[in-house]
Copies of this chain bind each other. A is one copy, B any other.
Amino acid sequence: MTVEIGRLRTLLDGRWGPIREEVRDQIRAAPLLRPVHGLPVEAYRARVMEQARLVSQTRSARLFFPRQYGGEEDMGGALSAFETIALVDLSLLVKVGVQYGLFGGVIRRLGTERHHRRYLHAAMTMELPGCFAMTETGHGSDVQSIRTTATYDPARQEFVVHTPDDDARKDYIGNVARDGRMAAVFAQLITGGERRGVHVVLVPIRDERGRPCPNVRIEDCGDKGGLNGVDNGRLWFDQVRVPREALLDRFGTVAPDGTYTSPIANETRRFFTMLGTLVSGRVSVSGAGLSAAKVALAIAIRYGLTRRQFRVPGRDQEVILLDYLQHQRRLLPALATTYAMHFAQSALLESLHEASDGDSADESQQRQIETLAAGLKAISTWHSTQTIQTCREACGGAGYLSVNRLTELKADTDVFTTFEGDNTVLLQLVAKGLLTNFRDEF
């Protein structure tokens, strides 16, 4: 069988092939986008921020944003670009993912026109490095129970954002420890003495010169198992005041006098509608995990085709590793599964794109995409963890040297099974979705 590589690539690249090719060209052309290893944390963070600024000047950034704010508004293209950027360095992927997908995404999805007008362009160009401050030390999977409060003060028409205790500090938040200027803070909204559930307010955390804002405490999460180019940190708010307009109020708004109104009456339904913002993040983590698995497989399979060990009696040349059935059985099923997942990922990308980035008015379509994204994210990130591990082992001692990338790919993707939704919890979400659909049949 002969394979025409160009045609195979076109098939794999799919609908957003030209965008993938454009990003690959950028990677080839920019020395700054070469993978490195062994940098001290400070230098690594600085490099990743510099890389992110480079990306912010390209289409990869613009694809995430609406046309009226300078963007090109193409979610399928944006996520395809992300999958390609993931080939460079997963810290960079997460850094720009936080900036465009999460920070930009939450403003776009939960904000209204005044937020879009004021912030989206600056988010796109990285003039305003932002954070997505959802998780707290005490509450990760159970976002609905977070304990940061945003209490409306009608006298001054401001929200008072407050961290009641250390358990409620924002934790593991990307872009916090070094670069972020503003945080989209998930908090329990309180107006007229009544709790209105989780909402998001925009809170400045550093001034133009990078100094923490008054009453905002910032802490570095320190060394992590991987992704050390991302500056994860913690945030405490001590009665921090922000104007009434800081509330991202698409699904719940507060009038000057404190009257709360929402287009969605049921609080839990409102909460899950707002959480729908996470769907593109999950799709991008799934894609990035698969990109890492592809890099690892390319390295391990190429090595397996050149590395020889042990002689067959009577033959002079040693046997190449991939001629051993055992070696084939380790790598080839992982390769086949990765191809299958690549196409599943592509199909999900198309659905998401068609359904207005998971912001569909059709509720059953929206629910289906959320279920698929949750399921594929869990399955594909576990697949990546296992595949990269297998690739490392299949390369022996060489696989353990940082220069050969496998250990870093493993370390960087390790947390993919945790963030953007813990895999175990996500699969329960999938099960719940399936059972609900089943019930609806009767």
Tell me whether A406 and B225 are in contact in the complex, defined as CB-CB below 8 angstroms, given that A40-B40, A400-B414, A419-B397 are known contacts.
yes
Interfacial chain B residues near A423, Cβ < 8 Å = 393
| Tally of chain A residues near chain B (CB < 8 A) | 50
Contact of A424 with B225 in the complex, beta carbons under 8 Å = no
Which of A63-71, A133-141, A149-157, A368-376 is the contact stretch?
A133-141
Complex-state Cα separation, A75 to B249, whole angstroms: 70
Complex-state Cα separation, A309 to B309, whole angstroms: 50
Q: A338 at interface (Cβ–Cβ under 8 A)?
A: no
Of A403, A407, A423, chain B has the most CB atoms within 10 Å of the CB of A407
Contact of B385 with A140 in the complex, beta carbons under 8 Å = no
Q: A310 at interface (Cβ–Cβ under 8 A)?
A: yes
Tell me whether A400 and B418 are in contact in the complex, defined as CB-CB below 8 angstroms, given that A140-B309, A407-B411 are known contacts.
yes
Closest chain B residue, CB of each to CB of A227? B400
Count copies of this chain in the complex.
2
Residues of chain A having any CB pair with chain B under 8 Å: 37-38, 40-41, 135, 139-142, 145, 171-172, 221-226, 309-311, 318, 326-327, 330, 385, 389, 392-393, 396-397, 399-403, 406-408, 410-411, 414-415, 417-419, 422-424, 428
Closest chain B residue, CB of each to CB of A419? B397
Complex-state Cα separation, A406 to B221, whole angstroms: 15
Complex-state Cα separation, A401 to B401, whole angstroms: 22
The contact of A397 among B311, B415, B424, by CB within 8 Å, is: B415
The contact of A309 among B142, B385, B400, B410, by CB within 8 Å, is: B142
Complex-state Cα separation, A40 to B318, whole angstroms: 40
Tell me whether A424 and B311 are in contact in the complex, defined as CB-CB below 8 angstroms, given that A38-B222, A223-B402, A407-B414 are known contacts.
no
